[in-house]
Amino acid sequence: MARRGLFRWKIAVYVARIASGIVTPRDFDSKVLSRTIVEAIRNVGLQLRDERDGLLICPICLKGPFTKRGYFLHLTRLHYYQLIQLVEAEADRIVFASRIAEP
């Protein structure tokens, strides 16, 4: 249970780093997480990235503008569970799409 909690926390942190621009999606990788989860984290991170004139707006609750660090903290503190749910849904979508694509 504790392990799973730590795992989820890491996923939320990775998403928030990409969304806030602390890390670019290209630079994010993990040897521990599956390819599907890595791709899902990249996609969700980009979906949550709404930058206007160098400042960040949260697309979930429309609050902002934030600095990179402020947005990172906002996402991990206020939208922790949503970040994980979004990654899980995106991972399901990727798996489903790859099954359809197979001959």
Contacts of 3 (CB under 8 A, 6+ apart): none
Q: Which is nearer to Zn ion, 6 or 61 (CB)?
A: 61
Show the tokens assigned to 24: 């670019």
Least distance from C-beta 60 to Zn ion, angstroms? Answer: 4
Q: Which DSSP symbol is given to 52?
A: E
Binding site for Zn ion (CB under 5 A): 58, 60-61, 63
Least distance from C-beta 33 to Zn ion, angstroms? Answer: 24
Cα pseudo-dihedral 80, 86, 91, 92, rounded to 10: 130
Q: Which is nearer to Zn ion, 43 or 76 (CB)?
A: 76
Task: Give the separation between CA 30 and CA 55, rounded to whole angstroms.
Answer: 28
Q: Which is nearer to Zn ion, 20 or 43 (CB)?
A: 20
Least distance from C-beta 63 to Zn ion, angstroms? Answer: 5
